[in-house]
Amino acid sequence: MALQAGIVGLPNVGKSTLFNAVSNSAKAQASNYRFCTIEPNVGLVDVPDERLDKLAELVQPNRVVPTTIEFVDIAGLVKGASKGEGLGNKFLANIREVDAIVHVIRCFEDENILREEGEINPVGDKEIIDTELQLKDLESVEKKLARIEKMARTGGDPKAKRELEVLLECKDHLEKGLNIRALDIAKEDRGAIADLFLLTEKPVLYVANVDEASILTGNKYSEILKAAVQSEGAEVIVMNNSIEAQISEMEDPDDKELFLSEYSLTEPGLNRLIRSTYKLLQLITYFTAGVQEVRAWTIQNGWKAPQAASVIHTDFEKGFIKAEVISYDDYVKFGSETAARENGRFRIEGKEYVVSDGDVMHFRFNV
């Protein structure tokens, strides 16, 4: 699956530093000036999963393959981006192409790092980005309204009339300075805006980039941010992006563990970010486990067995016969596939089976 999370924020808040830390396949330029990033950088990121490690320990395969997601480092937005300021149209188009947003917000003081917005103000920074995305969405909604309004009022088309109602609701919502993701739109009505790929409809989580002293507890700025987004139900992850970048460069596990212990960290903050982004995109993992390979596979939550099989190969879905399933907990409890079978924890599932997170699966197919 090629789902992407876009890293966004104002210039010089630590977006590219975060991307460099999180990505194991690409490096972005990180510098102390506006628009250091112009073309979006894209990197594949391994999803940390202790379950994969445990299965590998039990099976002892020839290789272990984690699942991945894509992060996109998008250039810093500025006030007026919706009207083209700071190459805004290009950058907003980059955001339109991703599936979720990781919004990085500066929550530290450092006079050596350029900041054009005045004093540190995490809520104000968030609102600048929100406003630009809302204005761009409002433009998109109004363009479609102009088309649909005429159809609804002259053609008597009930579908067009309902679309008009939904679009007017969205317009009113955006004009109030609210994001579309906070608007309760019925599933059957979402077709009215599906073709607009609205920016503020995308799910979001926030990264509070704090100073070194605040890694564990956060600070007044990160607490202000948490309070501001509480009504959204959005997650705020507190981390120091520069330290995370240093950790990611360490290849020796012992060096990494020692470095983490110096900051009283049990794991890199990036692990939490990656897992949270995975959850934000409504993804789950199933596993295949054999002597040749133990591997994690990414699917959308709610997928049925044939769809899940398709991520291995499209032929698996076309010729699907059945799925052999052992839950992760049962696999670990009994220690092997054979033992799980012997204890009656091996299941045969058909085309209507909805895959659960952590299922260990084999597919039978015929093409």
Binding residues for ATP: 12-17
CA proximity to 53, closest of 295, 268, 299: 295
Q: How far apart are CA 26 and CA 124, in angstroms?
A: 31
Give CA–CA dist 265/254, Å, rounded.
Answer: 14
Task: Count Cα atoms within 13 angstroms, Cβ side, for 128.
Answer: 23
CA distance 301 to 282: 6
Tokens of 299: 């699917």
Contacts of 293 (CB under 8 A, 6+ apart): 61, 62, 63, 64, 65
Q: Which residues are annotated as a binding site?
A: 12-17
* Cα dist from 267 to 143, 186, 260, 270, 362, whole Å: 47, 40, 7, 8, 32
What residues form DSSP beta bridges with 322?
Answer: 364
User: Which of 234, 311, 239, 238 has its CA nearest to residue 280?
Assistant: 234
Cα 110 to Cα 101, 117, 269: the distances in Å are 26, 13, 21
With 0-12 / 13-18 / 19 or more C-beta atoms within 10 angstroms meaning exposed / middle / buried, residue 362 is middle
Cα separation, 290 vs 292, in Å, equals 5
- CB burial of 215-251 (b: ≥16 within 10 Å; e: otherwise) equals beebbebbbbbbebbeeeebbbbbbbbbbbbebbeee
Beta strands at 283-289 and 293-300: parallel, antiparallel or unpaired: antiparallel
356 neighbors 327 (Cβ within 8 angstroms):
yes
